[in-house]
Amino acid sequence: MSDRGGKLSTNTGSHGRLPRLGHLPELDGIRGIAALMVFFHHLCSTSFDIAPWTSPIVRGLYWLGSFGDSGVDVFFVLSGFLITAILIRDRDNSDYYRDFYWKRALRILPLYALCAFGILFFIPGSRSFVLLCVFFAANFANVFHVQSIGGFWSLAVEEQFYLLWPTVVRRRSVATLRHWALAIVCTVIGLRYLFALFGHHNYWHTYLCCDGLAVGALLACMLERCQRQGLGLETRRGTLLSLLGAGVVLAGVCYAIPTDPRHIAFHAATGATAITLLCGGFVGLAVAYTGRSAFGWLRSHLLTFFGLISYAFYMFHIFVRDAYDHFRGPLQPNDLAGYFTRIAVVLAITIVLTLISRYAFELPIMSLRRYVLNRHTKPAVAESL
């Protein structure tokens, strides 16, 4: 993220456009939480059979880790907010499309391509999946009966969304944009319940999971409206708390829905909606009250560190886990030393690889922006997943 230490400005800027969004360390912290949630989800819940384990510690971490996949929903809300804020600010730019897509390409594609080539060379039979990755269609792998690998599916959702969203932002007023974003949220929620009638609860398809991106876009529109009035987002505290409260209520409803085969799809649909609303409310409050002591824990060095390396961390950790399991063999039930060693070693190797990638590969490539962007274009406000 650029412009370290800045805050949200309430100055409406020249020509009444949304002013530049300063660096918000709270959002780095939230991104760090999301990355760690996904990491522990894959290390503690999805990669071994819990049935023969009797340790209450392992079983407790398995239960906690089962919620970690919602870290991807946090990424979606953050991305929707930050990217839409950038698009609104730059909508009058003559190089609007060129600058936006160059920034996305230089941020996303190099590491994306590196991981895709790694899969192609090291994982037998992965050619079909890599071909889907080339077209940002990895989230539809199941439709083509192709095994999905790694975290490419969520990047596919984002890139599909951003093929169309910049044009919507460019051609519509912010008021209309709010209506479009709200319509997307309502449509996606409705589709989830419609699909639940047929027992479907795979939310990797864009039309069943892009509500998080749209909720983030709504937050950006809300911020723009406040700033045009010379106000801060904290003036919309009631709306943000309502989002958070609705998420809590739906989470309670989800808990009450049985998880038997007959009801599991409705349980999943309700849970997905609850998570989106919770993430939207929480991200909105963190932006509204940036710099306040109540959110000081989000500005901790540990969380902001993981936030700044979250993209590569997200992309690498599954491959490191799989390599570790390949060479060390499967975990033996109730081997606590092996269980915690696995987590520690995979975490350490992932961090090392992530730092090498960031400073030797990603940042040098991102520095090429100065050669391809309009010289009047300001740096991106954030690195989003």
Task: State the amino acid at position 370 in one-letter form.
Answer: R
Q: State which residues form the domain around 43.
A: 14-372
Higher per-residue confidence, 370 vs 212 = 212
Whether 353 maps to a domain, the answer reads yes
Average pLDDT over residues 374-380: 55
pLDDT over 80 (residue 108): yes
Encode pLDDT of 190-208 as tens digits: 999 999 999 887 789 999 9
Distance, CA of 345 to CA of 322 (rounded, Å): 12
| Mean pLDDT (the chain, rounded) | 91
* pLDDT, position 383: 46
Whether 64 maps to a domain, the answer reads yes
Query: Distance of CA 24 to CAs 11, 227, 243, Å?
Result: 17, 16, 21
Whether 5 maps to a domain, the answer reads no
Closest CA to 221 of 173, 283, 150: 173
The number of angstroms, rounded, from the C-alpha of 273 to the middle of its chain's C-alpha atoms is 15
Whether 131 maps to a domain, the answer reads yes
Using alpha carbons only, what angle is made at residue 275 by residues 214 and 258, rounded to the nearest 5 degrees? 130
Encode pLDDT of 345-362 as tens digits: 999 999 999 999 999 999
Average pLDDT over residues 27-56: 95
- The least confident of 79-93, 112-126, 194-208, 332-346 is 194-208
Whether 332 maps to a domain, the answer reads yes
Whether 188 maps to a domain, the answer reads yes
Task: State the amino acid at position 192 in one-letter form.
Answer: R
Whether 163 maps to a domain, the answer reads yes
pLDDT confidence bin for 375, thresholds 50/70/90: low
Encode pLDDT of 283-305 as tens digits: 999 999 999 999 999 999 999 99
Domain tally, the chain: 1
Closest CA to 154 of 74, 39, 267, 65: 74
Whether 379 maps to a domain, the answer reads no
* pLDDT, position 259: 87
